[in-house]
Structure 1
Amino acid sequence: MHQQKSARRYSQLSALTGVAALSLVALVGCSGGSGSSESPASTTSSASDPSSSSTNETSTSERTEESEAPSTSSSAAAAPAGSAGALTPPGTKLKLGQPANTHANTGNDPKDAKYKTATFITKVTKIVPGSSADLSAFKDAAKYAGQTPYYVYTETTLTSLSKPTAGMSAPSVDAQLKDGSDAQKLIVFGSFDKCESTQFDTTGKGDALSLKVGSTAISCSVFLAPKGDQISSVSYTDPRFSYVKYSDNQYQDNPIVWSK
């Protein structure tokens, strides 16, 4: 079931390019936004929803909701790389705050002049339980009755870019409940001060605008847990790297996992 869920996500992967991509990146996660006093809108998305794999998402309007598809992370004992270098192996188990070396690309053909790659040091730093009252800020708060929000913070440092670009997305993560099934992600449209994100620094202007190597972005993602349950782990399945063949991505069925 996990592989079927991942295949749907994998078919959606595509990279953002240019300044327009920077505009989208500026909306990633539950950002501080414009400071509008209007209640934020929201929607939930399971990890199987392709619309949730390319950002931590803030976008415009339409709401969709899919049911959860249970999944469990397989185990493998492999030591993570702690600084820029070899990718952290699939199946690595980490504690919160421990680093993993991850990557992303635009396109899947290295011969393409527009093909770019990036590497990162990624850390899941905090899993913070919220209160069901936090959800009252949303216009559609009634649909989340009985749910508890959890705020998952990911710190990502850009360690390399093969070519200057402002259109490279940081790695994204999923979260799991106590039974190992994927938790629903709450996608926020607008400002939500309980869960704010920051972006990579940029350098240059116009066509030369690029993310700044060495800068760090902090992403806050909101996941929902039913009453009596909780977020127990966070997983990385390499969703920002587009492979020529689905089977080439070994993280899909053997993700990197962070837990307390």
Structure 2
Amino acid sequence: MKRRAACAVVVGVLALTGCGESGPSLAFGEKATVTGDRSGSVGVTVVRVEKGTHADLSRLEDAAKYAGKTPYYVRFKLTKTAAGNDDDETSHFEVYADGKPLSELIILPSLQPTGDPSEPLTSGRFDKCEGADHTRYKEAAEGQSVDGCTVFVAPDSAAAPSTVKWTRRSKTLATWKAAS
């Protein structure tokens, strides 16, 4: 299966500003409400980080390059708190284990031939973790939420991630930490 953009556009919706240099410090499950880079505001909640398995990655194209790596799924929620800004593509999550950043894995959907002329292609998806739906967020009414997920990988020897940051242009806008 090819890689797919795990919420690249929707995550970009959340260009967070106004939180100061390091932004608020929150526990998983708590919402940071911030203004967009141009207008509006959004609520961002890191709900939890889940550990995946090697079998999850074995379904990907070139799966051998992920040998010795463990996937972690950052489950998040975007809540439209006002007319949202959906143009910024520079804001994103960063995930840390033992103070070291993990690598984000962007998985694109694959198109596979079916042999059926009436429906010649099907779309393969990485169902373990799907990004937030940009259209659903854009069309959401104030107060509505859209769930999403993004994938990070760590060496098998690394500790479980304990810190998730929302950043824009190297500036931390909000930080979530796992309960100790």
| TM-score, L = length of structure 2 | 0.71
> Which residue matches 1:187?
106
Shift of 1:141: 0.4
Q: Structure 2: which 5+ residue stretches go unaligned? A: 12-16, 110-124
> Which residue matches 1:219?
148
> Which residue matches 2:29?
97
- The letter of the residue matching 1:232 is S
Closer/same/farther in 2, CA of residues 175 and 55 from structure 1, 3 Å limit: farther
Closer/same/farther in 2, CA of residues 211 and 168 from structure 1, 3 Å limit: farther
- Report SS of the residue matched to 2:82: strand
Deviations 1:168-188 (A, max 9, x none): 46963111121x222100001
Match of 2:96 among 155, 176, 182: 176
- Report SS of the residue matched to 2:128: coil
**d(CA) in 2 for partners of 1:168, 1:210:** 14
Q: Which has the higher strand share?
A: 2
- Report SS of the residue matched to 1:160: coil
Deviations 1:213-245 (A, max 9, x none): 322111200000101113221001245xxxxxx
**d(CA) in 1 for partners of 2:79, 2:108:** 25
- The letter of the residue matching 1:172 is H
- Correspondence 1:233 to 2:163: yes
| TM-score, L = length of structure 1 | 0.51
**d(CA) in 1 for partners of 2:168, 2:83:** 17
What percentage of residue pairs aligned between the two structures are identical? Answer: 27
Contact 1:55 1:172 in 2 (8 A): no
Structure of higher RCO (CA pairs closer than 8 Å, 6+ residues apart): 2
Aligned pairs for 1:66-145 within 5 A: 87-89=18-20, 90-105=22-37, 116-145=38-67
**d(CA) in 1 for partners of 2:41, 2:144:** 12
Deviations 1:50-78 (A, max 9, x none): x9995478xxxxxxxxxxxxxxxxxxxxx
> Which residue matches 1:42?
3
